[in-house]
A and B are shown apart, each in its own frame.
Chain A
Amino acid sequence: MSKITLENVWKRFDSKVAVAGVSFAVPEGKVFGLLGPNGAGKTTLIRMMMDIIKPDSGTILYNGHVLTSDDKDRITYLPEERGLYRKQKVRDVLEYFAELKGLSRRDARRRTLEYLVKLGMDDVAQRKIEELSKGNQQKIQIAATFVSDPEVVILDEPFVGLDPLNVRATKNLLAEEGKKGKTILLSTHQMNQVEELCDELMMINFGKRVLYGPLEDILQRYSESALLLECSPLDDSIPEIERVVSQGKLQKIYPKPGIPPHTVLQSMIERGIQIESFQKATTPLEEIFIKVAEESSQEVRK
């Protein structure tokens, strides 16, 4: 079942079309990647999903019904450029954000303390935000997103500015919250994070959807039917191979159309070629991103 569904959503600002008939569904309990170059329309999409701005046309559904302001209480948002009330105490800020999401004062207080204990930060509860280190401020910011126990969390570039330790801590946190069945929408430019964390993704460029589906399917769709091998030198004698490209220690082998990889491998072994390792060559998401972005740019220029 999908948690949030967008159907043919349009949004214009003056004469500029920010979102052009975009449709996609964020499945419940999954991590969904929202990708796109800068200025592609991601923030506008997020703001519409948060009911901060209204679409000009199209429908946004939450749990199958049209999104209303009441649904805001179940969705939280971590904006890309972030900040908190610097002069206020950690605890007050977290409680305030939790209360704004509809928690009672008592529950907000309890959840705040629980969350701070979980992050190992209960000792800073009474400190002012500005007194914390940058990394700890970021952690509090992420805590502010989860403290109200939302159903959906929208994170815009959550790893930017974090050191590797905090990146790992944040990933663990996301994994843990994901296990609890939370739906996470991740907007990021870091493709390795998407490959690592996301189940499905949607890419937008110039306001249009240009890539959409389960991550595995997309990787599959864009992967060439090539093999990466660490092996002794190859010559042209193998009839099943169309061409060979050297990639450092590895050789990238493109079989002739219609020939499955195992036939190529069998033929190589028969010819006495020593194979140390082999794997299916996949195209990294980053390359897919660049390829799709360039293609869609060219289309727009036409």
Chain B
Amino acid sequence: MNKSMLVARREYLSTVSRKGFIVATIGMPLFFLVLYGIIGGATYLSMRQQKEKAENVGIVDESGLVRFGLLAKVGNTEAQKASAEAEVPSEFRNRGRQELARLAGVVQIKAFKTRAEAGEAFQRKEIRGYYIIPSDFLQNGVVQLEIKKGAFMSDNEPGWNSVKRLIAASLVEGKLDEAPARRVWTPPALKSQALAENGQPDKRGEFSEVSSFVVPYVFTLLFLLSIMSSAGYLLQGVAEEKENRVIEILLSSVTPNQLLAGKVIGLCGAGLTQIAVWISIVVIPSVFLLPFLDLRWGQLVVALVFFPLGFVLFGTLMAGSGALGNNIKESQQLSIVWSMSSVIPMFFISVILSQPNGTFARVLSYIPLTAPITIMMRVGATQVPWWDITLSAVILFASLFVFIRLAAKMFRLGTLMYGKRPSVVEIIRWLKAA
């Protein structure tokens, strides 16, 4: 077997059998599942509790305009927050509203003749507050709400929509026919239809807009996670070999370039294994979502090209600079520059997404260190010209040769160097000399 492949095999096996690797690989998706489970569960429970203490509000009509008999017609009950104009796809909205109403309970509206009566009811804790429709309401259009404020994020205007509808219905009662009257007190609902490129309705519905970002988002997340974790093992491996001097035995059998290549290949294997496990744990159970997702196959192809290129680039650079340290701590300090540069596009996410084909975004996709994530963000946001993607890939690919040479030099220098950690100036001088 080729010596690089021998090193790769050992590197792969020793990485995937590390306890830390196994815990991260299996544990990470489970952690997120449990986390989301806890968040969902907590929300559900808190809603159940709210239901148990269904709220009442009062209404005091000083204007004489309100016809309380209409309450039944406009709906004297209302789901708390359910009518919030959340941007939920319509096919989910109705079901969601019903579900929330079921969970959250309802607000009962009670009529009081005077403020004093309402005030007494408040003191007896029969109601949480009361709306006052003042005598000059027709002139001013102002409704007064006296209420005991709830906690942060809680509904501090319970039943307000019902009150509005009741007033509107009272005002038009007898003046308009039933149908137009209903349109007055029930605000128009909006139903939107997503269109595909060809002008036909997009059967995947409103979700497609969100889902066009699924591949880039998942790519970025997995890319960063796997670089950080796998490269960490690589660094640890190199630092250990340096600390216990195994590196000298290795270098007496293989060249530094073979050793570096083997390590990076082994690392890529371990990283890809990790991602495969994550995908099968998280994505496969989500397959039922596929009909709703607008998975653009072009994006997948771009991801499949840029992921390995980026992975090899960062893995190589981290191994190279990591070799300059005397122990794992120093190696991590030296290689942090690469992990930091991999996340640079994240700082400019708003610029890239608002102008995905703008100069700034394009420049970032021509810089090898920022290219993988920038390109994925761009293809998620818009139609990127194919030549632009190709140019970015070619630059990244070509830069690999330069960076691999640079990393190999650092690796060669670093592996045999012990003692004081070199300064940046020293490293540059040595690299020039090497």
Contact = CB atoms under 8 A, between A and B. Distances in A.
A81 B252 contact: no
Nearest to A96: B10
Given A79-B245, A84-B246, A52 B1 contact: no
Contacts of B249: 77-79, 97, 144
A208 interface: no
A99 B245 contact: no
Given A52-B248, A83-B243, A83-B244, A73 B14 contact: no
Contact of B252 (A77, A84, A88, A105): A77
B6 A52 contact: no
B245 A81 contact: yes
B246 A85 contact: yes
A81 B326 CA distance: 14
Contact of B251 (A50, A73, A75, A83): A50
Interface residues of B, number: 20
A52 B416 contact: yes
A259 interface: no
B250 A100 contact: yes
A interface bracket (residues with beta carbon within 8 Å of B): 20 to 34
Interface in B1-53: 1, 3, 6-7, 10, 14
A75 B252 CA distance: 8
A65 B252 CA distance: 19
Contact of B253 (A14, A47, A100): A100
A278 to B, nearest CB: 49
A134 interface: no
A101 B6 CA distance: 11
A107 to B, nearest CB: 12
A72 B245 contact: no
Contacts of B144: none
B254 interface: yes
A285 B133 CA distance: 113
A132 to B, nearest CB: 14
Contacts of A97: 249, 253
Nearest to A148: B253
A10 to B, nearest CB: 15
Interface in A43-101: 47, 50, 52-53, 69, 72-73, 75-79, 81-88, 96-97, 99-101
B83 interface: no
A101 B254 CA distance: 8
B6 A83 contact: no
A83 B246 contact: yes
Nearest to B18: A87
Contact of A96 (B6, B244, B416, B433): B6
A17 to B, nearest CB: 15
Contacts of B3: 100
Interface in B140-182: none
B333 interface: no
B301 to A, nearest CB: 37
A133 B372 CA distance: 49
Contacts of A75: 252
Nearest to B412: A53
A146 to B, nearest CB: 13
A105 B1 CA distance: 9
Contacts of A83: 243-246
Contacts of A76: 252
A50 B254 CA distance: 10
A191 B91 CA distance: 89
Contacts of B416: 47, 52-53
Contacts of B255: 69
Nearest to B429: A14
19 contacts: A50-B251, A72-B254, A73-B253, A75-B252, A77-B248, A77-B249, A79-B249, A82-B244, A83-B245, A83-B246, A84-B244, A85-B246, A87-B14, A88-B14, A97-B249, A99-B1, A101-B253, A105-B1, A144-B249
Given A53-B416, A78-B249, A100-B6, 19 more contacts: A52-B248, A52-B251, A52-B252, A52-B416, A69-B255, A73-B253, A77-B249, A79-B245, A79-B248, A82-B244, A83-B243, A83-B246, A85-B246, A96-B6, A96-B10, A97-B249, A99-B6, A100-B7, A100-B254
Interface of A: 14, 47, 50, 52-53, 69, 72-73, 75-79, 81-88, 96-97, 99-101, 105, 144
